[in-house]
Structure 1
Amino acid sequence: MELLYWQWAVKPEKPDPQGIEKMVAKMDACMKRLTKALEGRPFICGDMLTAADCILGYSVWAASDKMFNEGSLLKDYPEVQNYVSRLEGRPAFKKAVSAQFQ
């Protein structure tokens, strides 16, 4: 995601189309795998939030943001979008994000 962030948010005037294409393909592969992992469960390891959700969830949440090409990385992955919504709805998540961007 770092290359995509750089291309889309930091230096959009100098795009690297091949680099972007390669990273978007990697994200697609990751989102397909994440979709499968989330089948029938609200969080990565089951019914309860774990450290895995805290680590992975932040990156997936960031990918849904406007700085990543208007959230286009998740547009074809409704289950991942729902996962992000579940994370965003948690009081601790709201507190952590608001503290980060103050």
Structure 2
Amino acid sequence: MAGDSGKMKLYWYPEYRSVRPIWLIKELEAEQDFELVRFFPGGDAAHDAAYRKDVHPHCTIPALVVPGHIPILESGAICMYLADRYGKLLPEPKDKEDYYSFMLYTTATLDGILDFFFELYGMNKTFTDEKVQQMTDKLNAGFDFISRRLQGRQFICGDKFTAVDCVFGYIIYYAMVLKDGALLKNHPVLLEYRDRIQKRPHYQATINMK
């Protein structure tokens, strides 16, 4: 399914976590190197089966197919790979700890917490009050942790925008579309960060893709 164009192929869908690598590709000014395949699993059984076999075992997005290599899965891994491949939007040596830590903390922890709130507010699923409070406390603890690190900084790795901002920046977008942004109302540092990333033309171009 990699195609014959020689280009890298990114499977994506609007508003999902594939926003992260799309945004990064635009920031890298490397769109000419990619074929963007708008793909929503569940639309065609035969296509889904082929995708599951050749690209992603769980038939989810995003996935990056690089000619001659095995597919790269998970939005954070794709972003780290592309930043390394192009040698751009990487942290300064002194900020590598933050880069790796927040890249994985975002994808391994915060993604799952936000998924709970999507089920709660976006899908209207029912949970016990105890469970909602537990997840609210967990989200606030994570947001407070990152807010402390962002104090006096423009971005995750100091004043330099890096690939990790494409990854964590999506969390801010995700939180803002749930319950009219209520999840961020008590986190002013993150709201200021949101204002900075929203001013980036490539962010706007990505969010508006359909």
Check whether the contact 1:7–1:16 (CA below 8 A) recurs between aligned residues. Answer: no
1:49 matches 2:161: yes
- Note the 1:1-102 alignment, pairs <5 A: 1-12=114-125, 14-65=126-177, 68-99=178-209, 102=210
Displacement of 1:73 = 1.2
Distance 1:81 1:9 in 2: 21
Provide the C-alpha distance between the structure 2 equivalents of 1:11 and 1:74, rounded to a whole number of angstroms. 20
Amino acid aligned to 1:60:
I
- TM norm structure 1: 0.87
- Aligned to 2:165, the other structure's residue is in SS state helix
Q: C-alpha deviations, 1:24-67, integer Å up to 9, x for none? A: 111100111111111111100011111111111101221122xx
Gapped runs of 5+ residues in structure 2?
1-113
Distance across 2 between alignment mates of 1:57 and 1:16 = 30
User: 2-side partners of 1:80 and 1:45: how far apart?
Assistant: 14
Which structure dedicates a bigger proportion of its chain to strand? 2
Superposed CA RMSD in Å reads: 1.3
Q: How many residues align?
A: 97
Cα-to-partner distance string for 1:65-90 (whole Å, 9 max, x where unaligned): 2xx22211111111100101111110
Helix, strand or coil at the partner of 1:64: helix
Query: 2:158, 2:120 → 1: CA distance?
Result: 35
Query: Between Structure 1 and Structure 2, which shows a larger proportion of helix residues?
Result: 1
Structure 1 Cα separation of the partners of residues 143 and 174 of structure 2: 13
Separation in 1 of the partners of 2:128 and 2:118? 12
Which aligned segments of 4 or more residues in structure 1 are displaced greater than 6 angstroms?
none
Q: TM-score, with normalisation over the residues of structure 2?
A: 0.44
Identity %: 28
